[in-house]
Amino acid sequence: EVQLVESGGDLVQPGGSLRLSCAASGFSFSSYAMSWVRQTPGKGLEWVSTISASGGSTYYADSVKGRFTISRDNSKNTLYLQMNSLRAEDTAIYYCAKGSGSHMRIFDDWGQGTLVTVSS
Amino acid sequence: DIVMTQSPDSLAVSLGERATITCKSSQSVLYSSNNKNYLTWYQQKPGQPPKLLIYWASTRESGVPDRFSGSGSGTDFTLTISSLQAEDVAVYYCQQYYTTPPTFGQGTKVEIK
């Protein structure tokens, strides 16, 4: 059974930094692209970033480009999202999502999410 | 970015009746070289993450009941629940993965009448 467990969400001040982690189990982590998707009541679901299976390719939403960095450690079966220069509009539940074998952006498994709140 | 627009925003359907949700994309998500529509549907129940129901517009994910079906092509798509069950109360989202960034519809809330 696929399990994705996010951690690292917290209350942080504007301009601050946070690193999210997603521990994966139940599948061959190094064989699949992984993504972060966030959700807010106002903006709904928003794709944040994707990393290829090997980690060699990364993709970002314009809203986070230059501030967020996605990475993975295939030896630890863990996905990361380093979030810098945080803004109030980054407040959301952040989900890690596994890409399917058919296409990297068909999200066939999701974690339970971790809440990031950016506020002074 | 491709804008995904769902309708209605919410609907109430009697148990056992059909529920139909539409999703319209601002440009075609049909890739002509493989004749595939790059469109998924997700179900999200309260307090839970989204769950993949349908991909390639009409392929049901393993384990998804066959009362869920997807159809459409190009820019117009439909998710149909043929006989609504109590456990289908949820918000449903479409998503395109034809281009980067992948984008989601605003969601349709399905309730029991």
**Residue B7 in this model has a pLDDT that exceeds 90:** yes
Residue range B41-70: average pLDDT? 97
Q: Is A97 left (phi over 0), alpha (psi -120 to 50) or beta?
A: beta
| Mean pLDDT for chain A overall | 97
Reduce the DSSP state of residue A29 to 3 states and report it: helix
pLDDT on residue A85 = 98
Q: In chain A, which residues touch B (CB < 8 A)?
A: 44-47, 59, 61-62, 95, 100, 102-103, 105-113
**Residue A112 in this model has a pLDDT that exceeds 80:** yes
C-beta of residue A93 within 8 angstroms of C-beta of residue B29: no
CA distance linking residue A58 with residue B71, whole number of Å: 32
Measure CB to CB from residue A45 to each of B48, B56, B104 and give the nearest one. B104
**Residue A109 in this model has a pLDDT that exceeds 80:** yes
Q: Residue A77: which of A38, A8, A31 has the closest Cα?
A: A31
pLDDT, one tens digit per residue, over A23-67 is 999 999 999 999 999 999 777 899 999 999 999 999 999 999 999
Per CB-CB distance under 8 Å, the chain A contacts of B23 are: none
pLDDT on residue A41 = 79
pLDDT, one tens digit per residue, over B9-35 is 999 999 999 999 999 999 999 999 999
**Bridge partners for B13 per DSSP:** B112
Q: Measured between CA atoms, how close is B85 to chain A, in angstroms? A: 23
Per CB-CB distance under 8 Å, the chain A contacts of B107 are: 44-45
Task: Name which residue leads in pLDDT, B95 or A102.
Answer: B95
Residue range A68-82: average pLDDT? 98
Nearest CA in chain B to A96: B49
Q: Residue A67: which of A93, A43, A49, A54 has the closest Cα?
A: A49
pLDDT on residue A42 = 77
Nearest CA in chain B to A45: B104
Question: φ, ψ for residue A115 (rounded to 5)?
Answer: -90, 125
